[in-house]
Amino acid sequence: MLSAALALIGALVYGSADFLGGLSAKRLRSIVVTAVAAASGLVALALVQPLIGGQWRTADLVWGVLGGVVSVVAIALLYACLAIGPMSILSPLTAVVSAIAPMLWGLLVKGDTLAPIGYAGLGLALVAVVLVGFIPGEKIVRPTARGIAMAAGAGLSIGAFLIIIDQTSQDSGLAPLVASRATSTVVTAVVVGVLALAAVRRGARARSVLRVSGPQLGATPSGHADLEHATTGSVAAIPSLARAWWLAIACGVADAAANALMLLALREGDLSIVSALTALYPAGTILLAAVVLRERVAAVQWAGLTLALIAGGLLAVA
């Protein structure tokens, strides 16, 4: 029960990070938002780690570094598939794959066993993921094979991150997450630096790479997408440049908190359950958009939110 509760809360916190990151991406390029969020999340985790304690083993740090690399791959594939579209299909596909991959790993490889009510909860959770992640109002078109492949790759990468972090030892504290976030911080900072250098060589200012140019696709360091605010037609108010920087910093702190909750959930329960509930992260984005921005929640999303609560209850008692 504790594991399911932590995973569900973590999903909502992931959604809040997506919300903040998506708003920041209205002003700043998504890769810049991701780099800033990775750095602020790293600082937050580094400050909390001594309070929690834990052993700094080489194996756990290696798993953390690998998780950081995988998360960067997830972000790259996520940007690519959302840019290709249609988001209304590829976004839920990414979320479903991110749930199914570690779910199957937990059931088939780790040997997770659930009561019949637990399997029913997993099924409901997958349906809820599709309904909650659906972007209403977008024109439905048939996705390309390339878009489907990239969406599946992004989902597999996000799922792989969960599997990798699940390999760390119980007494490692937040050390694996610190290593993971440090890796993603370095990689994304290098990418931003390369973009800045390329801009200078073209005769432009280095700072020109910071502003939005192209699709406004928000994402967090773990590869989750801001599904509700990923389109240029969002009614969300565009923040000032200074506020956008603070939103990116807050995004990283929230994302780090969600990662910590996810790690605690994995150490308390089964990977299959945690992966299914973590994939419900769009729920947090949708609810914040409704409360803060007064955006309308579509009927299909309300259905998804309802199923998510039912699935969470079933998995809690599985």
Q: Pick the closest to residue 266 from 3, 13, 81 (CA basis).
A: 3
Q: What are the residue ranges spanned by the domains of the chain?
A: 2-316
Q: Tell the burial category of 98 from Cβ atoms under 10 Å away from its Cβ (0-12, 13-18, 19+).
A: buried
Give rounded-to-5 percent helix, strand, coil for the chain: 75, 0, 25
Q: How much of the chain exceeds pLDDT 70, in percent? A: 86
- The per-residue pLDDT for range 61-71, each reduced to its tens digit, is 999 999 999 98
- The per-residue pLDDT for range 22-32, each reduced to its tens digit, is 788 778 887 88
In whole angstroms, what is the distance from residue 288 CA to residue 307 CA?
A: 18
| Mean pLDDT, residues 127-141 taken together | 71
pTM here is 0.83
* pLDDT over 50 at 234, yes or no: no
Read out DSSP for 125-147?
A: HHHHHHHHH--TTSPP-PPPHHH
Phi-psi region for residue 274, left (φ > 0), alpha (ψ -120 to 50) or beta? alpha
* pLDDT over 60 at 83, yes or no: yes
Of these ranges, 174-188, 217-231, 293-307, the one predicted with the greatest mean pLDDT is: 174-188
Q: Which of 180-194, 211-225, 301-315 has the lowest mean pLDDT?
A: 211-225
| Mean pLDDT, residues 55-59 taken together | 91
* Band (126; pLDDT cuts 50, 70, 90): confident
Q: Which of 104-113, 120-129, 130-139, 186-195 has the lowest mean pLDDT?
A: 130-139
